[in-house]
Amino acid sequence: MSFWWSAHKNASGARCRPRALDDLHYHPSLSARLKSLAASGDFPHTYALLRTIRHWEEDTVTCTLRQLFGPGVEKVKIDQCVFLSPLKRKIEVNIVQSNFHIEITPSEAGNYDRVMIQELLKEIAQTQQVDLNAKQRFKVVIINEADSLSRDAQAALRRTMETDMSNMRIILCANSTSWLIAPIKSRCLLLRVAAPSDTEMQTVLTRVARRTCFDLPPEAAQEIIKDSGGNLRKAILVLEALKMQSPDLSGPLTIAKPDWETYCQKVAVLVVTKQTPARVMEIRTKFYELLSHCIPPTVILKAGLTVAEGIVSQVDKTLKAEIMHWAALYLCAEVRMRIGSKKIYHLETWVVKVMSLYKQSFYQFDISKFE
Amino acid sequence: MFFQPKTATVKATTQKHVVDPALQPWVEKYRPKTIDDVSAQEHTVAVLQKTLTSTNLPHMLFYGPPGTGKTSTILALSRQLFGPDNFRNRVLELNASDERGISIVRDKIKNFARQTPRAQAVASDGKEYPCPPYKIIILDEADSMTQDAQGALRRIMETYARITRFCLVCNYVTRIIEPLASRCSKFRFTPLDTSSSTARLNYIALAEHIDVDAAVIDALISTSSGDLRRAITYLQSASRLSSSTTPPTPITPMDIQEIAGVVPDPVVHDFAAVLGIDMGSMTVDEPKGTQKGFEPIQKKVKELMREGYSASQLLTQLHDLIVLHPTLNAREKSKCAIVLAEADKALCDGADEELWILEVALRVHKAVSP
């Protein structure tokens, strides 16, 4: 069974991952742009901004590298790097590198990402490319999750980006630019990578199906696209899973949800059905269960919000206005969670607040006097 | 056979420190060489000109938004003071990419500060340099230094004032502790005005032999809002893009906007229309009876986020649109402004973009609908 799985994965997941810029099937204008940049040999610092679809931008970056340096970049090795923090604590991080590029995820180093950026970039910036056959004189540094870089680490990037440009180019990948400081933004070229549209996803899915020699009924494709929400990797994986379940992909399709998602939904149902202190206690245990399985609290909140909304709007159309309130509460909780340290407090505040709001509007009962 | 690679290495080592000017970022290439070249900032330049003739230089604190020429000015000044040969041993430049904790201040900075300046080397290019008898320590991006490290600097600055001058460069003067700030003469760098940016951009375009028309320059200046470095980076990116396509196409204002990550106007107008802001003739023939409320707004926000626009950029443009709107009254505008300000704070704290845009959309909708 497992063999089949991996074989199949190869068939649709890996084989269809694009390897050259020409193979990228969406955003043709962006591909053309990158190709011309790579060809000119004068590649700027870049930051790619993208949403929800990590995989796509990864592919864009690898394809760009391939265009820049040739097939050599595909020979990668994973190294472990050790840094000393200012207090002589050892920090170990994994880096992926080839002869021409190096890929780091500074958020691995936690609070010490500044040290990592300083040490690593200095080291790279001060060494010249030794391979004389290399197409480019510089090395490319890919910084993943740049939007979780601390302010200090970003400041550490600033001058290095200018002074050592001859030896190194930096590609920052981020989901949002809000957290990046203005001096960094003013030194980079921005590439906006939009999520693929529904039709583009349809094309890709059909192409994957054709490569693996079966036909994908359009209804099934639509169903999968709706479920994936713009995430192409998820769509392809779901397609694989479905293909395993029912080889001809006909009849009603049930797309399996991850179990934590169903668990979150259960919690949301609990919130809406009954609002008592006992229920809050019950939910607390559930939250702990989720948190101890490393589900990020923002994800829990988000899942809870959508599910609760769904239930409420089914029950009562007039409660629509309340939903806006809920979202606002969610936002409060989310922002506080980022700054605070103990996640469970904020999760519970949200639950209790939502419960009280719900009760208020349901029984037309104004408790604002008691506050 | 065996000798071939060896000769190649020799060649490589001889050319080691030469950076191909074609590959240099224009920001570095066109950094002002003398302080007369610094665009705008007349006041600062005038004061610093004096120091070139007299040998007297105070401790300095440069502050102002990014891309206004702070680092360029001090580098140009020290180069003019000391010349290329003495520059090495008279100037210590430390920036945020160097470790600058309290230990570095105590060791490296203190050691450099207390050295007696070395005798003036004879300038190899035959020019005369004033070469006054002090050293300069440039602390770039000083606002990212810790409070402790700044505190440790206080006494050092005074003790060695005879032989060492400090120049702190920062964006936010408020992050510099008061005792340090009071020891320096402050120079504020203002965002560049349109005419000097235009002049500089035109100069670069001419030197690089690229055609840019006035519309492109305008687009560059409006998108970079007084940040010359950003404008130059955009110009370079745009010219690279346009020259590497075959056949080479001229740069258009649209290219600049795309590089700058500006959300296209029609998209913003559409968004505003969904929020219930009366767009008058600006909307693209939308049927009058479009349903307003929670669902269409949510749908629109989802769509925008999937397009990958930056939330902060979207907010800025929405803000401009609302503030300059002809028919909204002051109360509605101020309500919107509060919402936008809160959202900006949240985004800076790293909150979820999509939800905040949704929140802004809903509250603006509430504020403008009667």
Here the ipTM equals 0.70
Residue B34 sits in the same domain as residue B149 = yes
The helix/strand/coil state of A7 is helix
Is residue B87 in some structural domain? yes
Residue B67 sits in the same domain as residue B163 = yes
The helix/strand/coil state of A350 is helix
Q: At B289, phi and psi to the nearest 5? A: -85, 30
Total domains in chain B come to 3
Question: Is the Cβ–Cβ distance between B105 and B153 less than 8 Å?
Answer: yes
Is residue B81 in some structural domain? yes
Tokens of A327: 């979202």
Residues facing residue A49 across a β-bridge = A174, A192
Report which residue type is found at B152.
A
Residue A341 CA to residue A346 CA, distance in Å, equals: 10
Query: What's the CATH number where B341 sits?
Result: 1.20.272.10
Question: Is the Cβ–Cβ distance between B95 and B84 less than 8 Å?
Answer: no
The helix/strand/coil state of B324 is coil
A44/B241: higher pLDDT: B241
Residue B139 sits in the same domain as residue B213 = no
Print the domain residue range for B199.
Answer: 194-260
Question: Is the Cβ–Cβ distance between A47 and B247 less than 8 Å?
Answer: no
Find, in chain A, the residue whose alpha carbon is nearest to that of B237. A189
Residue B148 CA to residue B152 CA, distance in Å, equals: 6
- Would the CB atoms of B311 and A178 count as touching at under 8 Å? yes
Out of B227, B260, B293, a domain closes at B260
- Rounded mean pLDDT, B184-201: 89
Tokens of A40: 């000119």
Residue B254 sits in the same domain as residue B278 = no
- Rounded mean pLDDT, B204-221: 87
Is residue B91 in some structural domain? yes
For an interface test with B, which of A60, A114, A160, A178 has the most B Cβ atoms less than 10 Å from its Cβ? A178
Residue B244 sits in the same domain as residue B98 = no
Is residue B14 in some structural domain? no
Is residue B29 in some structural domain? yes
Q: What would you measure as the largest C-alpha separation in chain B, in angstroms?
A: 85
Find, in chain B, the residue whose alpha carbon is nearest to that of A182. B66
Interface of A with B in 130-169 (CB under 8 A): 132, 137, 147-148, 151-152, 155-160, 162, 165-166
Residue B156 sits in the same domain as residue B246 = no
Residue A78 CA to residue B114 CA, distance in Å, equals: 45
Report which residue type is found at B172.
Y
Of B259, B346, B358, the CB nearest to A327: B358
Residue B285 sits in the same domain as residue B253 = no
What is the DSSP code string of B259-296? HHTPPPHHHHHHHHHHTT---GGGS-S--TT---SHHH
**If you ran DSSP here, which 8-state letter would residue A186 be given?**
T
Secondary-structure percent of chain A, ordered helix, strand, coil, rounded to 5: 60, 10, 30
Closest of B19, B313, A355, A262 to residue A367, by C-alpha = A355
- Would the CB atoms of B95 and A37 count as touching at under 8 Å? no
Chain A residues with CB-CB distance to B362 below 8 A: 324, 327
Of A175, A190, A193, the CB nearest to B260: A190
Query: What's the CATH number where B221 sits?
Result: 1.10.8.60
Residue B140 sits in the same domain as residue B91 = yes
Question: What's the confidence (pLDDT) of residue A266?
Answer: 81
Query: What's the CATH number where B134 sits?
Result: 3.40.50.300
Residue B231 sits in the same domain as residue B128 = no
Question: What's the confidence (pLDDT) of residue B287?
Answer: 45
**If you ran DSSP here, which 8-state letter would residue A327 be given?**
H
Please tell me whether the overall predicted TM-score, pTM, comes out greater than 0.90 for this model: no
Out of B243, B260, B277, a domain closes at B260
| Chain centre distance of CA B6 | 44
Is residue B274 in some structural domain? yes
Residue A336 CA to residue A350 CA, distance in Å, equals: 11
Please state, for a pLDDT cut of 90, what percent of chain B lies above it.
6
Q: How far is B310 from chain A (nearest CA, A)?
A: 6
Is residue B15 in some structural domain? no
Out of B219, B240, B260, a domain closes at B260
Is residue B2 in some structural domain? no
Q: Would you write out chain A's pLDDT as a tens digit for each of its 371 residues?
A: 223 323 333 333 444 455 555 556 556 666 776 776 666 656 666 655 544 444 455 666 777 777 777 777 777 888 888 877 777 788 888 888 887 888 888 877 777 888 888 888 888 877 776 666 666 777 888 888 887 788 888 888 887 777 777 778 888 887 777 777 877 877 777 777 777 777 777 887 787 777 777 777 777 778 777 777 667 777 777 777 777 777 666 666 666 677 777 887 788 788 778 888 888 888 888 888 888 887 777 777 777 766 666 666 666 655 665 666 666 666 677 777 777 777 788 888 878 877 887 777 777 666 555 55
At residue B169 the predicted structure's pLDDT band, cuts being 50, 70 and 90, is very high
Secondary-structure percent of chain B, ordered helix, strand, coil, rounded to 5: 60, 5, 35
The CA distances from residue A173 to A63, A68, A94, B272, in Å, are 14, 18, 17, 29
Residue B155 sits in the same domain as residue B209 = no
Domains with residue ranges and CATH for chain A: 27-193 (3.40.50.300), 259-370 (1.20.272.10)
Residue B208 sits in the same domain as residue B180 = no
- Would the CB atoms of B261 and A182 count as touching at under 8 Å? no
Find, in chain A, the residue whose alpha carbon is nearest to that of B103. A86
Residue B162 sits in the same domain as residue B55 = yes
